[in-house]
Copies of this chain bind each other. A is one copy, B any other.
């Protein structure tokens, strides 16, 4: 390293999929002199040390944050309100508090009021994840080529925003700044609703008679399998997302329900033109996504042959 690390002491609160991936990325890119974590159980503290993710692991949040110049909350968002009173007294002026949660208005509501003067809050949301959980599931490349959305309120210290921006950029992400409420609305449709629907459809299948259920698993490659991957994401994290982005999620569910009822009616009454028109419109959205380089288009057959197994990191659990 020819440069000083971006942070002297990073305290990761929570060392699951995202926390442990960040620990690995911080190390790989030399972004922190010391990395410590706080985690609920002695066992995961030991795992974090054994995997070499952190220099020190604590089972209480206060000592972990003592002397940190960056505290990164990587626990389910519902824990923020309880955790913040324990860590706030340990923070020195100039310290940055950030997070990786999927809901952002809540951070402004639950965390901001409890922080001492001179501590900078820069809420963040890396749009990255897999359906796997725990410190073993993380990997340093998780954030490469992905978006990270930051939602600082107006008046936030610009140097603090810049440092968090540099952190995520060094981890390979593109950074976007957004209003917290706008973030929650956009994510309600791009992420929260798809996850809710995936959980629902897989739940519907679980309740089918046993003979059908076995075949649902057997023939899952016909569309259902994709949903099971999304519906295998961390239950506690997603419970928290839905409860804490309730209004935006419920509005999207309401819109979806209306649209589904219209489709249902078109099927019942044999309105083929209506179905075909909708299915043609949705195809165009896929093209826009491919043009925006957020998905892969068709490849010439010679390059592809049979699909090789790759880590399925692209869409679950974020």
Chain A residues at the B interface, C-beta cutoff of 8 Å: 78, 127, 130-132, 137-141, 144-147, 149, 176, 185-187, 189-208, 212, 215-233, 235-236, 238-240, 242-243, 246, 249-250, 252-253, 255-257, 259-261, 263-264, 267-268, 270, 272, 275-276, 278-283, 285-289, 292, 294-296, 298-299, 301, 304-316, 318
- Give how many copies assemble into the complex: 2
CB neighbours of A187 from chain B (8 A)? 219, 222
Which residue of chain B has its CB nearest to the CB of A252?
B204
Whether B139 and A202, one on each chain, are in contact in the complex, defined by CB atoms closer than 8 angstroms, is no
Whether A289 and B228, one on each chain, are in contact in the complex, defined by CB atoms closer than 8 angstroms, is yes
Q: Complex Cα distance A202/B295, Å?
A: 15
Shortest CB–CB separation between residue A33 and chain B, in angstroms?
24
CB neighbours of A318 from chain B (8 A)? 222-223
Whether B186 and A239, one on each chain, are in contact in the complex, defined by CB atoms closer than 8 angstroms, is no
Whether B267 and A246, one on each chain, are in contact in the complex, defined by CB atoms closer than 8 angstroms, is yes
Whether A292 and B242, one on each chain, are in contact in the complex, defined by CB atoms closer than 8 angstroms, is no
CB neighbours of A192 from chain B (8 A)? 223
A-B contact pairs, 17 of them (CB 8 A): A131-B286, A139-B301, A141-B306, A147-B219, A189-B205, A190-B220, A191-B222, A194-B224, A197-B201, A198-B223, A199-B282, A224-B315, A229-B295, A232-B283, A246-B268, A250-B268, A307-B310
CB neighbours of A78 from chain B (8 A)? 272
